Structure 1
Amino acid sequence: MSQEPQGLVERMEQHQIAIYLGAMALGGLLGWAAPAAGPGLEHAINPVLGALLFVTFLQVPAGELFRSLRDGRFLPAALVVNFAVVPAVVAAMFAFLPADQAVRIGVLLVLLCPCVDYVIVFSGLAGGDSRRLLAATPLLLIVQMLLLPGLLYLFMGPDLADIVEAGPFLEAFLFLIVIPLALAWALQAWAARTPAGRKVSDAATTTMVPLMASTLITVVASQIPKLGGSLGDVASVIPFYAGFLVVMAFAGRVVARFFRLDAQASRAVVFTGATRNSLVVLPLALALPDELAVAAVVVVTQTLVEVIGMVAYVRLISRLVPQREQPVTAA
């Protein structure tokens, strides 16, 4: 009896890309067929996202996080590609973005923040070192929340203070990072002491794929009704998102070679540089004034482009970073 649920979990993990694509399609259909459900679904985004991040953090033992801080090459590579290379790439494309302020804020919100959830899935499917990437996840979250206000100010100028309030950033940090991480570590401590805790922990980790699918359905369905007459503005950012994926594939590869990483770690660096944190920054976009509501749709659009791009990444990464490649040795 106990083998049947496990088999279902394994099948979901094997077919998770198809499940995520299907979830987004279902969300789009739901948003189109029942637009009145959009506001209610918006209120469900934070709870379902918090649950997803809790399960993600549950897979990061506290000791692994502290050990990741001493990862002399991988962690610096992940930080450089996300917080030095990515802002430079975004700066190069910024002048060519549509002039609409809401569109620009949406693009900045999503492209300046590295992904912390399904990047681990896709990296693992492509043979990347998901364990090291998972251990670095809380730090990547903390750094992006600390740097995002300053980066937005650099791009948008002093008018930013009249548009974006600090409250939503602090709220997102508390409810999407601090609380899920604290609860995950509390469950880890319980699991280390009692069999009951281990059962609860094991059961929680099996919900990763359903929670991700639920999050995608909720996010897409809640934002589709907002498109209205903004379809042209939203569609105009798709080439930028696609171009970003192409550029970051090679940029991540260059960074990985600079830090002399092996093939698995290099693939993980490529994925963390390319995937963005659309689900976590969406609450920030939703907190913007009504006249900037399209920013949230711009953020969700990046998710649609990225998941399709990740299918290509998984198939092509072996050519960009051959599996047998050895770390580059110093001269």
Structure 2
Amino acid sequence: MDRLQLERKQVWIYLLALLAGLLLGNAWPQIGPILERLLWPVLILLLYATFLQVPLLHLRVAVVDRRFVGLVLLGNFVLLPLLVWALLQWLPADPAIRLGVLLVLLVPCTDWFITFSQLGGGNVPRAIAVTPLNLLLQLLLLPAYLWLLADAEISVALSIVDMWPALLVIGLPLALAALSERWLDVHPAHAMWRERLAWWPVPLLAVVIVLIAATQVVAVRGALGLLPVLVPVFLAFLLFAALLAKLLARLSQLPTDQARTLAFSLGTRNSFLVLPFALALPAGWETVAVVIVLQSLVELFGMLFYLWWIPRRLFK
């Protein structure tokens, strides 16, 4: 099996991981504290392997094609936040549910959208080039979006005192990935290190899902009743994101391969990045992490549809 085949099958891997975690948590609830301690180092490894695939030190490459980059940024950081605000009106008043939706839908993906762009006939070099800009802007803008869109109860839960572990879990692998990229630029003979680590995100995310499901069994059970509310919201996001890409591509006369890449960028979200914030929240907010995992699963099934719809119907 090559890496592309592994990534094609990731949705089934994650579903099995979710089931395995629930069975583990039900059978041995006493191991919950041990699994919670394992979760943070696994997340650090996951984020490091993911960030290393992003050309963090090559922002200059991202802005070569200003039209394409401008559309990606307009869609991800101006128009989609407006869509998220509109979708928020259809959600129940539960602040944990709203926070989970805000966290996961406001940040564009910087990893598997490249894979889906490749599978869907998109422009992979441009997908790779724009990822560091997407990553940098989402880190800078997410606090502003939450301040604008979240209510007071959510703002209290996101206090800096509670969030410092999440900031460390994100900042440490980000810094290590940047240093590793610099080292690889100086020593290109070791580029195989990056290729080997490119295999890690799928199995590591599966481990993260197992650990979350096993330690949050009660929250997962409680979230089952939310499926009729959350799944339509996540599906609506996928639909409107693709239609938005179609509109932007038509208005700007974007080439077909770039238009497909734009659609995958707008449709995929960065659940890896926001999971640490969800897990750092105080007791009573466990639903936030469950919402993020649920969105990831819905998105992956949505990508299977995207891979048929985008190259064959939306952007032929």
Asked if TM exceeds 0.5, the reply is yes
Which stretch shifts more, 38-47 or 87-96? 38-47
Q: Which residue of 2 aligns with 1:127?
A: 121
- CA–CA distance in structure 2, aligned partners of residues 82 and 223 of structure 1: 31
Q: CA RMSD in A?
A: 2.7
Q: Secondary structure at the match of 2:110?
A: coil
- TM-superposed CA distance for 1:282, in Å, is 1.5
Unmatched 5+ stretches in structure 1: 1-7, 324-331
Matched, 1:97 2:88: no
Deviations 1:23-50 (A, max 9, x none): 3223323323434355444444443343
Shifted more, 191-200 versus 126-135: the winner is 191-200
Q: Is 1:146 paired with 2:140? A: yes
Q: Which residue in 2 is equivalent to 1:204?
A: 197
> 2:273 — aligned with what?
280
Scaled by the length of structure 1, the TM-score of the pair is 0.82
Which residue identity is paired with 1:28?
Answer: L
Structure 2 Cα separation of the partners of residues 208 and 297 of structure 1: 19
Q: Does 1:308 align with 2:308?
A: no
SS at match of 1:98: coil
Partner of 1:96, secondary structure, is coil
Aligned length: 313
Quickly say closer, same or farther: Cα 1:29–1:115, change in 2 above 3 A: same
The percent of aligned pairs where both chains have the same amino acid is: 36
The residue type paired with residue 299 of structure 2 is: E
- More displaced, 309-318 or 166-175? 166-175
CA distance in 2, matches of 1:297, 1:62: 29
Distance 2:254 2:211 in 1: 38
Task: Quote the Cα distance in structure 2 between the aligned partners of 1:282 and 1:206.
Answer: 20
Aligned to 1:271: 264
Decide which of 152, 162, 180 is 1:187's aligned counterpart. 180
Which structure 2 segments of 5+ residues have no match?
Answer: none
| Other structure's SS at 1:113 match | coil
Cα 1:189–1:306 change in 2 (3 A) is same
Give the corresponding residue for 1:87.
81
2:202, 2:40 → 1: CA distance?
A: 17
SS state of the match for residue 280, structure 1?
Answer: helix
In the aligned structure 2, how far is the partner of 1:259 from the partner of 1:224?
Answer: 47
Which residue does the alignment assign to 2:283?
A: 290
Shift of residue 270 of structure 1? 0.7
Give the Cα–Cα distance (whole angstroms) in 1 for the partners of residues 246 and 162 of structure 2.
34
User: What pairs up with 1:20-59 in 2 under 5 angstroms?
Assistant: 20-35=11-26, 36=29, 37-59=31-53
Provide Cα deviations, 1:215-258, integer angstroms capped at 9, x if missing partner.
44444554444223342135421111111111111012212333
Deviation string, structure 1 residues 117-171 (Cα, Å, up to 9, x no partner): 2222112111112322222222212212222222222222344432211356565
Whether 1:166 and 2:160 are equivalent positions in the alignment is yes
Q: Which residue, out of 18, 41, 45, partners 2:9? A: 18
1:308 counterpart letter in structure 2: F
Instruction: Give the distance between the partners of 1:20 and 1:67, measured in 2 at CA.
Output: 31
The equivalent residue for 1:156 is 150
The one of 59, 70, 76 equivalent to 1:76 is 70
Aligned equivalent of 2:232: 239
SS at match of 1:245: helix
Rounded to whole Å, the distance in 1 between the matches of 2:161 and 2:132 is 21
Distance 1:43 1:117 in 2: 26
Alignment TM-score, normalising by the size of structure 2? 0.86
Contact 1:32 1:225 in 2 (8 A): no
